[in-house]
Structure 1
Amino acid sequence: MIHPTALVDSTARLADDVEVGPFSIIGPDVTIGAGSVIGPHVVIKGPTTLGKRTRIFQFASVGEDCQDKKYAGEPTRLVMGDDNVIREGATIHRGTVQDRSETTIGSRNLLMAYVHVGHDCVIGNDCILANQVTLAGHVTVGDYVILGGLAAVHQFCHFGDHAMAGGGSIITKDTPAYIMINGNPAEARGLNLVGLKRRGFSHEAISALTAAYKMVYRQGLTTEQALVEMRSRFELPEVEHFAASIERSTRGITR
């Protein structure tokens, strides 16, 4: 299962059925779960933990030292869940002690070719990052998020659940849950209606979120006024989740 040209450190912990392709390098303090396939010319540096059924394609660099100039060789971590796919040339860096000391990626995510995930990022579950998406350090991405190709996200930005960014977007502020953004600089374009329908959101929830979106973006209310208005009109968990994602913003929301 391990190609004879691959270099696997003696302290790396690989499940018995893990496949490792030609010329790949797996360093110390690396753990790889069952059913995983590591392609050719992949470099994995620890401390890194990869869950079950991880698939990594050629020339990816996973768990490398971060590019933060404050980094001084501390043993920070990369932790990934199960069923993730990392395509060609992607780069994923470990965390820094100035933040969480850990870069965290959930399960069932697709990181397409040449995606970069910077230090201390947190990515949820079931996300798609299209070709050449770039996440600066300290970015938080929720569940079921889609980032179009070449989108760039500024450090410390938050991206709410079920949100979507169009290709080439330059994102410097927080994106609330359920919102679709696009442009340079990115602007809110509406709800991610197609995504919500595909994921089984009820007609009642979508109608309420549409009204809540208009309160924030179309009616000339302040953010505080919009939050009070939507909570007074709707008691649905989806609306509360939308409101909470706005309240969590530290950089201001994309308008």
Structure 2
Amino acid sequence: MTNIHPTAIVDPKAQLDSSVTVGPYTIIGPNVSIGAGTKVGPHVVIDGYTTIGRDNELFQFSSIGAQPQDKKWKGEPTRLEIGDRNTIREFCTFNTGTAQDKGVTKLGNDNWISAYVHLAHDCVVGNNTIFSNNAQIAGHVEIGDYVIMSGFANVHQFCKIGAHAFVGMSTSLTQDVPPFVLLNGNPAAAHGVNIEGLKRRGFTREQINAIRAAYKTLYRSGLTLEEAKAAMLAQEQALPDDVAVHARAMREFLDTSTRGIVR
């Protein structure tokens, strides 16, 4: 493989497509698989049972697939799975999963991960997310598609963040975040719907209005959570399905929350 720099150390058992590029002083372990078109920069360490898909770019000084930072880990062959077309910038740390969960940490497709991001064991991140510098994600966290994590945002273990949510700078999350919600602060507080993001992604005016109505019912009506869920359901039933679908996603998310939502 002429794309591997002579100073890189690639274990003979590693499976790299012939089009993979590996920079100087990078180390790749025996249980690593890397797909076509992926570029690995200099001084990167990729270890563990790690699978990386196609057309990713990993910048210098990242640690990918190291053992989980969990005292319960006893050497089990847990995994890290990274999809396609992700950008992973400098000094990122992604860990494998633990036997106490599904045993795998997952990053989907088309994500932009900025410098110094930590993705802990057993996290599941969707597609098209943006993590700004120093976003720190604890273990067992689930993050939906198109979520934006601003710089220095922190997420407590076992939290869930719904699709299209926007987490502001230096926000500290200890509870779940429904889809579409914009929040900020420490402790975190909801400040409306991520309207600008929804417009950029092609949501119609009617869909955005339905989401805003669901948000107001959940956060501004003074109803209890169960009362708000019932009111949200009634709102959905009065709308065409192509309009109600996203508001329904917000309501259904509430039934999946185990830590309670930021409210």
Is it true that 1:241 corresponds to 2:249 in the alignment? Answer: yes
Structure 1 distance, partners of 2:92, 2:236, is 42
Displacement, 1:185? 0.6
Please list the CA deviations of residues 151-191 of structure 1 after superposition, one character each: whole Å capped at 9, or x if unmatched.
Answer: 00000000000001001000000000000010001110100
5 Å-filtered alignment, 1:96-245, equals 96-235=98-237, 236-245=244-253
Structure 1 distance, partners of 2:247, 2:117, is 32
Structure 2 distance, partners of 1:77, 1:234, is 40
Structure 2 distance, partners of 1:15, 1:233, is 51
Displacement, 1:195? 0.6
Structure 1 distance, partners of 2:182, 2:257, is 16
Question: What RMSD over aligned residues (CA atoms) do the two structures have, in Å?
Answer: 0.6
SS at match of 2:121: coil
Runs of 4+ in 1 over 3 A off after TM superposition: none
Please list the CA deviations of residues 50-95 of structure 1 after superposition, one character each: whole Å capped at 9, or x if unmatched.
Answer: 0001110000000000110101111100001100111000000000
Structure 2 distance, partners of 1:82, 1:56, is 12
Displacement, 1:46? 2.2
Give the letter aligned to residue 216 of structure 1: L
User: Would you say the 8 A contact 2:48–2:67 is kept in 1?
Assistant: no
- Equivalent residue number for residue 73 of structure 2: 71
Displacement, 1:208? 1.0
Unaligned runs of 5+ in 2: 238-243
Displacement, 1:231? 1.1
- Equivalent residue number for residue 31 of structure 2: 29
Structure 2 distance, partners of 1:127, 1:140, is 12
Give the letter aligned to residue 226 of structure 1: A
Structure 2 distance, partners of 1:54, 1:95, is 21
Please list the CA deviations of residues 177-219 of structure 1 after superposition, one character each: whole Å capped at 9, or x if unmatched.
Answer: 0000100011101000001111111111111111111111111
Displacement, 1:246? 1.6
Structure 1 distance, partners of 2:68, 2:165, is 27
Identity of aligned residues (%): 52
Name the count of aligned residue pairs.
255
SS at match of 2:212: helix
Unaligned runs of 5+ in 1: none
Structure 2 distance, partners of 1:68, 1:216, is 36
Structure 2 distance, partners of 1:19, 1:206, is 43
Displacement, 1:234? 1.7
Give the letter aligned to residue 254 of structure 1: V
Structure 1 distance, partners of 2:21, 2:236, is 51
SS at match of 2:228: helix
- Equivalent residue number for residue 88 of structure 1: 90
Displacement, 1:245? 1.2
Structure 2 distance, partners of 1:196, 1:122, is 22
